[in-house]
Amino acid sequence: MLSLKNKTAVVTGGASGIGKSISLLFAKSGAHVYVVDMSEESGSGVTKEINSTGGQSTFLKCNITSQTEIDTAFKHVLPQFDILVNNAGIAHIGNALNTTESDFDKLYQINVKGAYLTMQAALARMVQQERGVVLNMASIAGMVGLPDRFAYSMSKGAIISMTMSVARDFVKYNIRCNCISPARVHTPFVDGFLAKNYPGQEKEMFEKLSKTQPIGRMGTADEIAQLALYLCSDKAGFITGTNYPIDGGFVTLNT
């Protein structure tokens, strides 16, 4: 069994979807998990769930686009800073013509700047310790052309590039940095998206989206969490500077 015993892990966007699954699994694997999120209700709910079953977890409310808020929140993290999972992010639908400037800026602020600021804060601690693991959540949208994902693809392509740069610059400090690129994953966000954009057609659209993966279904948040656990564990000690597609064959079998 993969273990994070005696490790400290910070998970941004850790209160819902993939982030919640990562938070729960990391805590179950022995880590003290700091759930960073804007939703106090959801974040507190996750930490209560973890702590009620004997795990260790702390909720930190934080807007990751603010360096001041990140610095303040991270002061509450234990001196030992083993793992950062940059999971927080938002999605967007639109091409280069109909994406508004405000939407583009919002994607950049949360998905790109937020990841940069949290990495900067974590790396400062990790360099002093001369060890640490950073895992960023990218997407297949940063690897291949997807319809109507212009700004989102921009942001996830940046995540992949920043991952490689951090891996190169900080390997001398015994710091590993990798990223995960999921295809479609069934989360509450997907259900909300379908309800909003395809009222009355949710079931058929869900099936249509599921079949865009050659494996014939969407991934699950738990499957993404299992890969995250491996990459953040000591078992993956020889892996850095790598982007892992977890996509039901989408990238390889559709190209």
Active site positions, annotated: 152
* Antiparallel, parallel or unpaired: β 83-86 and 32-37: unpaired
For residue 52, the one-letter residue type is S
d(CA 227, CA 125): 25
Q: Which of 201, 4, 183 is nearest to 83 (CA)?
A: 4
Are 8 and 78 in contact, with CB atoms under 8 Å apart? yes
193 C-beta neighbours (distance < 10 Å), count:
16
d(CA 50, CA 9): 14
CA distances from 156 to 74, 159, 175, 221, 231 (A): 24, 5, 22, 18, 19
d(CA 129, CA 164): 21
Residue 119 tokens, joined: 């990495």
> Across 7-128, where does the E strand assignment appear?
8-12, 32-37, 56-61, 83-86
